[in-house]
């Protein structure tokens, strides 16, 4: 018969403090914390290399990769989680005035007059790190410069009654592709035979670099003026005001569930992913604050 050992049971409940390596000095701990605060996705082996480069440790006393990982988890109390990446430029621009002006401009139009345009990359491979460490209970946020490794690009313009027009490019988009997109889109007709983009409507897009390319933006303004359509740019770094982002969320979720078709018939998979009830759009407009 087993005898209940209260002392042993109690020992199991009490969390033991990690045994610190002699190589983990206060300077090492502070350096590890500093590197993880600056760049949550940095690997332990990279921190180990920088300990040597910055002469904080020598080859004789530099902690191992596993020791660095233990410091991050046990001593610094950081957990591993999905990264939230924000553009570096967001800290340099005061967006309040731009947002107020944008919302005031959009109040000149009804939701039925609004059309939103955006591009989305469909990636086959990505070298971007998606996870990193941060303190328990906090998000892992890391700044990054814009980078793209897209193989296909989906351009979509949508309105209150559904998707107005879309196309799929083999490769990245550019100013000329944007102009070609609207050259075709402006000729589209709805189910009643009326122009998809009526006079008095507005097209909203973000501040992607080539949207402001001199020749491209000038030609686009000319095309839209011919149809009596206004062009408005969102405030920088404000995807929450672009309804097309909601469309892309559904599209990407469906592509994830249909990976076999994406691998073999990507264009058909995108067409299928964008085939959803037009009634969804009113909910998207409400989510973005236009209804």
Q: Tens digits of per-residue pLDDT, 33-61?
A: 888 888 888 999 999 998 988 888 888 88
- pTM comes to 0.63
Local confidence band at 166 (pLDDT 50, 70, 90 cut-offs)? very high
Tokens of 208: 């992607």
Q: Measuring CA to CA, how many Å separate 62 from each of 23, 126, 153, 166, 278?
A: 6, 32, 46, 55, 60
Q: Give 140's strand partners.
A: 83
What is the Cα–Cα distance from 290 to 82, expressed in whole angstroms? Answer: 30
Residues of the chain within CATH 1.10.10.10 domain(s) are 22-76
Strand intervals (E) in 194-263:
202-205, 230-233
288, pLDDT greater than 80: yes
Which region among 21-35, 97-111, 114-128, 252-266 has the lowest average model confidence (pLDDT)? Answer: 114-128
Q: What is the pLDDT of residue 124?
A: 52
What is the Cα–Cα distance from 18 to 70, expressed in whole angstroms? Answer: 8
- Looking at domain 22-76, which of 2.10.109.10, 1.20.1090.10, 1.10.10.10, 3.40.470.10 is its CATH number? 1.10.10.10
pLDDT (tens digit per residue) in 235-253? 988 889 999 999 999 998 8
282, pLDDT greater than 90: yes
Residues of the chain within CATH 3.30.420.10 domain(s) are 91-287
Q: What is the pLDDT of residue 4?
A: 47
Place of tokens 């005035």: 97
Q: Which of 84, 85, 152, 158 is nearest to 120 (CA)?
A: 152
Sheet holding 230-233, edge to edge: 162-170, 152-159, 114-122, 202-205, 230-233
Q: Please report the DSSP string for 2-31 in residue order.
A: PPP-HHHHHHHHSPPPPPPPTT--HHHHHH
- Looking at domain 91-287, which of 3.10.105.10, 3.40.50.1440, 3.30.420.10, 3.20.20.70 is its CATH number? 3.30.420.10
Q: Which of 168, 243, 251 is nearest to 203 (CA)?
A: 243
144, pLDDT greater than 50: no
Q: What is the pLDDT of residue 37?
A: 83
């Amino acid at each position: 018969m087993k005898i209940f050992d209260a002392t042993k049971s109690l020992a199991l409940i009490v969390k033991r403090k990690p045994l610190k390596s002699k190589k983990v000095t206060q300077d090492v701990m502070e350096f590890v914390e500093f590197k993880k605060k600056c760049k949550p996705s940095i690997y332990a082996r990279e921190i180990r290399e920088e300990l040597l480069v910055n002469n904080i440790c020598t080859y004789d006393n530099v902690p191992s990769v596993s020791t660095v990982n233990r410091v991050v988890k046990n001593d610094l109390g950081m957990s591993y989680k999905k990264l939230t990446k924000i553009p570096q430029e967001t800290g340099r621009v005061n967006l309040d005035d731009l947002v107020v002006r944008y919302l005031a401009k959009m109040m000149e139009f009804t939701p039925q007059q609004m059309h939103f345009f955006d591009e989305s990359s469909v990636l086959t491979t990505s070298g971007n790190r998606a996870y990193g460490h941060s303190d328990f209970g906090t998000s892992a946020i890391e700044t990054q410069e814009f980078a793209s490794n897209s193989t296909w690009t989906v351009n979509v313009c949508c309105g209150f009654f559904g998707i107005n027009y879309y196309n799929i490019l083999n490769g990245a988009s550019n100013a000329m592709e944007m102009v070609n997109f609207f050259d075709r889109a402006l000729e589209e007709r709805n189910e009643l035979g009326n122009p998809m983009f009526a006079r008095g409507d507005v097209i909203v897009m973000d501040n992607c670099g080539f949207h402001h390319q001199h020749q491209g933006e000038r030609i686009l303004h000319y095309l839209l003026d011919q149809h009596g359509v206004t062009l408005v740019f969102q405030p920088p770094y404000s995807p929450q005001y672009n309804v097309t982002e909601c469309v892309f969320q559904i599209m990407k979720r469906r592509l994830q569930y249909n990976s076999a078709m994406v691998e073999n018939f990507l264009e058909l998979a995108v067409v299928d992913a964008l085939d959803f009830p037009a009634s969804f759009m009113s909910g998207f407009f409400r989510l973005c604050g236009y209804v």
